């Protein structure tokens, strides 16, 4: 999938891995503040906006946490173009969710064509080749038959299953001391070359950094958001677009939420 930057875009923001959930209202409050104050004309959310998403029908409960987030984004979409790319926690977000949020869904990966260059956008989880157990799980849950069967279950049952999966995930983290699955460098470089892109922007690993893949290609890792942590974590990657085609790509700036 390819998107071309709109003519009126001067500032484009990228965020990911907010892992929004009702039990952590501080992070939602931070998102609300950001949406109100951001100067960007476009916002790209690169996966895991929610801690878990068990189906778009959760939005039918108008007082639900998910519906609250959707209303917040829908309001923001009146002044900012919002794009969603699903992550490993919210891969079941569908067209009803996009409509409720006033957002445009993206495929993974998507290339954003700007006057400054071509930026490949991905959540990043599919490139963590050393995490074989996760990739096996990913293949299972991304299977259309599995998703169909899961979504046929009653909402309450799916919500309970989602809570169980979160608990299992947290328990697993405690057993993986010293293990960190990062993106495979060769695979990332191959993907960039396949899509004729200059740079990759992704989330998933929660380790914000810049990695040079070779002399001309790089990948930018987004921060996760957790305003309940000490220290608090929330960061926006901001790209200022040039109005002249072919201009050398400007370096995106990392903006801490407290500075917005």
Q: Residue 149: CA atoms inside 13 Å, Cβ hemisphere, count? A: 7
Q: How many CB atoms lie within 10 A of CB 200?
A: 26
As a whole number, mean pLDDT of residues 220-240 equals 93
What CATH number does residue 103 fall under? Answer: 3.60.21.10
Would you say residue 260 has pLDDT above 50?
no
Residue 157 lies in a domain: no
Would you say residue 178 has pLDDT above 70?
no
Residue 173 lies in a domain: no
Q: Per DSSP, what are the bridge partners of residue 108? A: none
pTM metric for this prediction: 0.93
Read off the pLDDT band of 162 (50, 70, 90): confident
| Burial (CB count within 10 angstroms: exposed 0-12, middle 13-18, buried 19+), residue 54 | buried
Residue 141 lies in a domain: no
Domain tally, the chain: 1
Per-residue pLDDT tens digits for 52-106: 999 999 999 889 999 999 999 999 999 999 999 999 999 999 999 999 999 999 9
Residue 153 lies in a domain: no
Residue 152 lies in a domain: no
Structural domain range at position 124: 2-128+181-259
Q: How far apart are CA 15 and CA 206, in angstroms?
A: 11
- Report helix, strand or coil for 85: coil
Residue 186 lies in a domain: yes
Would you say residue 248 has pLDDT above 60?
no
Q: What is the pLDDT of residue 176?
A: 56
Q: What mean pLDDT, rounded, does the chain reach?
A: 91
Q: What is the pLDDT of residue 122?
A: 98
Q: What is the pLDDT of residue 247?
A: 53
Q: How far apart are CA 35 and CA 120, in angstroms?
A: 24
User: For helices 65-76 and 25-37, what crossing angle results, to 10°?
Assistant: 10
Residue 8 lies in a domain: yes
Residue 17 lies in a domain: yes
């Amino acid at each position: 999938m390819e998107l071309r930057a709109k003519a009126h875009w001067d500032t484009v923001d990228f965020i990911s891995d907010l892992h929004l959930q009702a039990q952590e209202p501080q992070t939602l409050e931070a998102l609300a503040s950001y949406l109100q104050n951001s100067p960007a004309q476009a916002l790209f959310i690169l996966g895991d906006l929610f801690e878990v998403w068990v189906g778009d029908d959760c939005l039918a409960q108008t007082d639900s946490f998910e519906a609250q987030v959707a209303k917040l984004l829908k309001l923001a979409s009146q002044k900012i173009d919002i794009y969603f790319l699903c992550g490993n926690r919210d891969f079941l977000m569908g067209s009803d969710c996009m409509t409720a949020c006033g957002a445009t869904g993206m495929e993974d990966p998507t290339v954003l064509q700007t006057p400054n260059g071509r930026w490949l956008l991905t959540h990043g989880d599919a490139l963590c080749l050393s995490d074989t157990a996760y990739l096996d799980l990913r293949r299972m849950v991304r299977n259309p038959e599995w998703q169909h069967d899961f979504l046929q279950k009653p909402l309450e049952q799916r919500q309970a299953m989602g809570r169980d999966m979160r608990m299992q995930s947290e328990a697993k983290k405690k057993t993986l001391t010293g293990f960190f699955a990062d993106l495979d460098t060769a695979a990332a470089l191959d993907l960039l070359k396949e899509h004729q892109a200059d740079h990759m922007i992704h989330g998933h690993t929660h380790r914000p950094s810049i990695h040079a893949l070779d002399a001309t290609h790089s990948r930018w890792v987004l921060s996760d958001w957790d305003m309940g942590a000490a220290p608090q974590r929330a960061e926006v990657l901001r790209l200022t677009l040039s109005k002249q085609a072919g201009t050398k790509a400007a370096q995106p700036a990392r903006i801490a939420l407290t500075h917005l």
